[in-house]
Amino acid sequence: MVQVYLLLFAGLMLLFSSGKFLVDSSVAISRRLKIPRMIIGLTVVAFGTSAPELLVSLQAAFSGYPEIAIGNVVGSNISNILLVLAITALIYPIPVPASSVKRDWPVMMLVSILLLIFSLNGWLTRLEGGVLVGLLAGYIAYSVLRARGANPSVTSEKTEGAMKWWVALIIFLVSCVGLAFGADLLVDNVAIIAEDIGISKRVVSITMVAVGTSIPELATSVIAALRKETDISVGNIIGSNIMNILSVLGFTSLVSPIRVSTEIARFDIPWMLGISLLLLLMMLPASRSRITRWEGSFMIIIYLLYIYFLF
């Protein structure tokens, strides 16, 4: 069993490092192609940071483990709020921009409710996956138009000193292979561990797998907090949660319909909705507009309570 845990850890590390290099190389290629900075952020970076969840969910669906496919996304969305934001707030209180309350959070809540509705019949079908991907295209288009309205003068990034295009292309291809191998190692060994210790694949995916695929967001947010640069943390986490549902579950269910267990549809997704409401309550006071350290502590307690009910 030691070998299984080592392979699981290797899969997580492959996902983490490959995801980071995928984003870096994609941004470098996009800049060489003179793609505007705002579009890079809203598409290339957003898809890149969701790549670990997407590859894990696709691999799980193909391997016949639907609980891992959807549990990974639901658990990742929960841990993004209750762990990533909470730990960041413990290090340094997080300012909350008005746009996160007025525009980003309602979108996250609406797609989360839509996921609940789609899940109640026990499946995410190809048609529903198509709806999610269509909403993803609309969300990206709206975000680009909104960014252009706010920064009409922004056109492109300077490329001086940037990565050479052929180096970026090689890194991009190697990163894609690394993500595929990492996802394969993670899914296969999680299934073995779940069977060995006698707990469901759903529980393992919502805890171990979800936290593992949230490591990039956690690392980025912690570094930003240590530098006291937390202005975009809330927006990044909400955006990541939106992308997880629309892109990861959308594309995965397009490729292979996902069976949704009763526990996920009636327990985990409602918890995800409740945690999203909790986040709104913490963002609402206009006089402060920040998530404080004690609120971060409270969120960690809620996460531990959720884990307790899982078992």
Question: In this predicted structure, what is the pLDDT of residue 39?
Answer: 62
Question: In this predicted structure, what is the pLDDT of residue 246?
Answer: 94
Query: Each residue of 185-240: pLDDT tens digit?
Result: 888 888 888 878 888 888 988 988 888 777 777 776 777 777 776 655 687 788 88
CB 92 within 8 A of CB 225: yes
Quick one: CA torsion of 268, 57, 183, 263, rounded to 10 degrees? 30
Question: How far is residue 69's CA from residue 54's CA, in Å, rounded to a whole number?
Answer: 9
Query: Each residue of 184-196: pLDDT tens digit?
Result: 888 888 888 887 8
What mean pLDDT is reported for the chain?
Answer: 83
Confidence of residue 119 (pLDDT cuts 50, 70, 90): very high
What the chain holds in terms of domains, given with CATH numbers, is 2-310 (1.20.1420.30)
Confidence of residue 156 (pLDDT cuts 50, 70, 90): very low
Question: In this predicted structure, what is the pLDDT of residue 8?
Answer: 84
